[in-house]
Amino acid sequence: MSMHRNQSFFGWLLGLLALSTGCTDCGKGPEPVAAEIRFVGDRTSLENAFNTNFKFEVRLDAANDQEVRVDFETVEGTAKAGEDFEPVAGTLVFEPGDLIQDILVPIVIDEGLESDEQFTVVLSNPVNGYLLGNVQEATGTILNDDTSLEVVLPEGGYDTPHGPDNPPPGMTLVWSDEFDGTAINPSNWVHETGGNGWGNNEWQVYTNDEANSYVEDGHLMIVALQEGGTYTSARLKSQDLQEFQFGRIDIRAVLPFGQGVWPALWMLGANFNEVGWPECGEIDIMELLGHQPNFVHGTAHWGEIIGGGHPSYGVSTYSDFPTTFVDEFHVFSIEWSQDTIQWLMNDEVFHTITSENVAPYENPFNAPFFFIMNIAVGGNWPGYPDDTTLFPQFMAVDYIRVYQ
């Protein structure tokens, strides 16, 4: 009898213990699950008055019964804070049940023609949520739709001591274009237009549009633009307007850069229309391959095309480290006399050609020539633009002077 009571007591005690240990979660809901926090997508839009803010949507992958927080900030890329967008930083707060929050990034609207530019918005420090791979960012791409180029020309650089009031010894200034007016002087220059590859498999279409060439603040501006898959630029020549035989020629300019960008300051024989190229002769006062912005080339071409080639003779020179021909102005010159041409950069001779180099051909350089200034895009020599090439690119010419 007493044993039975004891067994009943122990059974009751064990049941009580089971209740107390087996229902630790009784009356509670499931543990909350942390939500994934992610951007819905990148943002791309034109830079204009209709798109003064870029809106980046941030979403949770599931509703949460806790407050979810995450920090955000903008990070510069090719788009610069304060110039192209206003930097923002802060914390997004998702109240219980919220799924979406927005980040607004103000865009700086201007009228200057620029390359398309990018910045990123980065999330960090999540609370009650997580970032997949601990990283979450979205890219904002600002598409330029302006029509005028906002140019900041470099200060300083080289300028020759020679000028209209101080010509080289024994010479006088016979012609110059100082580009001091408000438009390209039609007495000096005519545009060549078209997009036929120009004998070098180039990609640009030359235009006479003011977006590609204009005069501003005492400089001739030649601008290469990318418009979708099309490239436009300008090519100006003085043929039948300003032609010269012998003398010293100075051209002060700052140059463009980038893979596939090919600026040139050069001359062709005035008999080009009669005898063709290369028989007319070509004097490249300056050429630059955009992927080598600290080297320029001075070259002469002549003779005839045989087996796909022709005679030429060129030498390169370089800018002083660490500057390039993009960073400051330089003066590109030739001193040209009967049977001899010397190339100079910043008044230092770096290349010479004589009639002996041209033999057995008759020297075509003892005759009148006209000027050409252009920026080509792509071609057999420089190669073609790639993902590293930025547009627009410009060449600014301060002056061109001829002394005899």
For the annotated catalytic residues, the residue numbers are 282, 287
Q: CA 116: distance to chain centroid? A: 9
Query: In whole angstroms, what is the distance from residue 83 CA to residue 76 CA?
Result: 10
Query: In whole angstroms, what is the distance from residue 367 CA to residue 232 CA?
Result: 33
Query: In whole angstroms, what is the distance from residue 337 CA to residue 332 CA?
Result: 17
Q: Which residue matches tokens 């979450």? A: 136
In the chain, the amino acid numbered 249 is: I
Task: Report whether 328 contacts 156 (CB < 8 A).
Answer: yes
Give the 3-state DSSP-derived string for 221-286, with helices as H, strands as E and coil as C: EEEEEEECCEEEECEEECCCCCEECCEEEEEEEECCCCCCEEEEEEEEECCHHHHCCCCCCEEEEE
DSSP category for residue 208: -
Q: CA 69: distance to chain centroid? A: 39
3-state helix, strand, coil in the chain (%, to 5): 10, 45, 45
What is the biggest distance separating any 2 CA atoms in the chain, rounded to whole angstroms? 142
DSSP category for residue 103: E
Phi-psi label, residue 203: left if phi above 0, alpha if psi -120 to 50, beta otherwise = alpha
Compute φ and ψ for 76, nearest 5 degrees: -65, 145
